[in-house]
A and B are shown apart, each in its own frame.
Chain A
Amino acid sequence: MARVELKNINKKYGDVHVLHDINLDIKEGEFVVFVGPSGCGKSTLLRTLAGLEEPSTGDIYLDNRNVVKEAPADREVAMVFQSYALYPQMTVRDNMSFGLRIAKKNKAEIDVKVEMAAQMLKLDHLLDRKPKELSGGQRQRVAIGRAIVRNPKLFLFDEPLSNLDAELRVDMRVQISKLHDELKSTMVYVTHDQVEAMTLADKIVVLRDGKVEQVGAPMQLYHHPVNQFVAGFIGSPKMNFLDVRVMEATDKSVTVALTGGDQLTLDREGNHLKSGDDLTLGIRPEHISLDGSGDASLSLTLDVIENLGAQSYVHCSGATIEKCIVLAAGEVDLPANSSIKIGLNAHNCHLFDQKGLAVKKMISQASVVRDSKVVAMS
């Protein structure tokens, strides 16, 4: 277990600035997930932690020791790659023991550690096989086993489940979660799949264009996104956004008008807003009703229904909203191109200003946000 601190990490490749002033504090035993779209710098940040990339500026502390100049092996970290990166010419046993053999540990100790890790990952019957004789899931378990036997202070996972099929991915996700519970090690995990992030993480770091957008527990990010990007990125299907206009704003509430004419009053600090300001209202698909019930309603045209059995995605659109997804329980049987009225409740809505920043909630709720160390980067 290790505490990890990243201080003012910047990474440049020539003129391209990939990471901008990253500051993070990862507590001992915490499971931290870096999420963000492709090219946001999450893998570069992980590789910088591993020592495979050197930051242009900044420091990395592992248990208060600055390791920024240390070689990967000296940092006591282990990494699991997206492509498994197993040594093809070696057996599973040799793959898992490679690091220990390099470190010149005695054979008995190596054997015990490999056997223990193999049992933990249910690989004990595969120890004498080569990677090409294993399935994708088994190979990824070998890669995890190779990390475990070294007993590292910090585990790094670089999109380890991306190459697996959907069913195996769910299975491996559970295994990694169990592994974290058993080992109680500090783990940093990179993914672009926000379902993995939500289910695995103690803390999520949302990155965009090399900058940290928000850090917080999964439910904090879900309920209190600090900006429109985080709101759109966390949650599946993604949050719907509607254009609204401020009708009245006070220090305790903001009243906005939807394009259909209905008005919604939200408990937000609106003292910096004025009547006529254009804002964006965010509402998650699961918080919209299809019967028009709620504090406000909006008429839309139904485009497509995706029935999944237990739930349905209803895709609709309107004159002022290009795409709106409603998540309804059970099956929905409505004709395409029919007119529907969706209902919104004020307490489920999010409000974003023209810069995309969330309009703050009233003090009582904002304090929750502050306590969980939600960090907004403008």
Chain B
Amino acid sequence: MEKIFKLRPHEQLLVQFVLLAWALTILLPFGIALMNSVKPNLGAVLREPFALPEVWQFSNYARAWDRADFGEYFLNSMIISLSTVVISVLLATMVSFVLARHEFRGKSLIFICFMIGVIIPSRLALPPMFVVVKELGLANSLVGVILVQSAVMLPLAVFILTAFFKGVSPEIEQAARIDGGSPFQIYWMVVLPLVKPAIATVALLAFVFSWNEYILPLLFLQDRELYPLTLGMQQFKTQFAVQWHMMFAGLIIMMAPTVIAFLLASRAFIEGLTQGGVKE
């Protein structure tokens, strides 16, 4: 790969120092969580939270999974997150394709509305959102949480995807029109495969956002059997103390899918799919 900047040795040293410091800042809490997740009891965590465990008790993970009904929470989190990914990606790609490629009255207004959705925090819209979900009879249901999380994710997804769709050569779409493609066929068969990297980005963001979301499920779900992992963590909070070693084990289990999702999506970022289709 061609280097964008050529740095002198002492500049390289500085850059590497900053990057290393940043990596440590990120990895340190992760390391502490990992260390404490294998300590045998709460006392070991509280006595020396930053020390290596004297006994490495990996069974904490199995106990966290079994005793705290983690299987059920994990399944709920998966249902919520994957559904949010599918709904937000499908809707956002359709909206963005139309906003990027078709001229119609009110197009700018619609785009501005989505941009407002990006700018204004979704927390501000919680009370009316709650009323709407309740009126629709979707309160205390996974469908309600999925729809709300998809709606919250949609503005950012539209913002990202519209920029990508605008980057696709209009001549490719025109060639498909002359070949007889309907608007949906052009969207589905021609243009969508060209924005795969953007779809991977949006899907990843949607997955991580909904997997880690705490407030929305807390507000919209009452039944314990519908809880996702973020709410299920409360199991480790007993009346008098927090079971930190179990909590950390639970956190590590919870992080695993997001790490896997990042690894899977990273390939799509690298692929330059539009290369070769049109003369640059």
Binding site for B on A (CB under 8 A): 50-52, 71-73, 77-79, 81-89, 98-99, 102-103, 130-134, 136, 139, 146, 150, 163
Contacts and interface: CB of A to CB of B under 8 A. Distances in A.
Nearest to A87: B190
Nearest to B193: A89
A50 B175 CA distance: 10
B36 to A, nearest CB: 47
Interface string B247-276: 000000000000000000000000001111
Interface string B98-118: 000000000000000000000
Contacts, number: 87
A86 B278 contact: yes
Contacts of A51: 178
6 contacts: A72-B177, A78-B178, A83-B278, A87-B175, A102-B181, A132-B275
B279 interface: yes
Find the residue from A72, A77, A88, A99 having the highest chain B CB count within 10 A: A88
Given A83-B169, A89-B193, A102-B185, A77 B276 contact: no
A81 B276 CA distance: 14
Contacts of B277: 84-89, 131-132
B68 to A, nearest CB: 45
Contact of A85 (B174, B180, B189, B193): B174
B131 interface: no
A102 B179 contact: yes
A25 to B, nearest CB: 23
Contacts of B177: 52, 71-73
B194 interface: yes
Contacts of A71: 177
A287 B279 CA distance: 40
Contacts of B275: 88, 132
A103 B180 contact: yes
B171 interface: yes
A82 B279 contact: yes
B274 A73 contact: no
Interface string B167-209: 0010110111111110001000110011000000000000000
A52 B276 CA distance: 23
Contacts of A79: 174-175, 178
B140 to A, nearest CB: 43
Given A73-B179, A73-B180, A85 B278 contact: yes
For the complex of A and B, the 9 pairs showing the least CB-CB separation, nearest first, are: A132-B276, A88-B277, A73-B180, A99-B179, A85-B171, A131-B276, A85-B175, A83-B278, A89-B193
Contacts of A87: 172, 175-176, 190, 277
A85 B169 contact: yes
Contact of B278 (A52, A84, A130): A84
B276 A85 contact: no
A89 B169 CA distance: 14
A99 B274 contact: no
Nearest to B191: A87
B179 A83 contact: no
A81 B194 contact: no
Find the residue from B175, B180, B181, B185 having the highest chain A CB count within 10 A: B175
Nearest to A47: B174
Nearest to B190: A87
A274 B276 CA distance: 62
Contact of A150 (B179, B274, B276): B179
A83 B171 contact: yes
A89 B273 contact: yes
A98 B171 CA distance: 15
Contact of B276 (A86, A98, A146): A86
B164 to A, nearest CB: 14
B279 A163 contact: yes
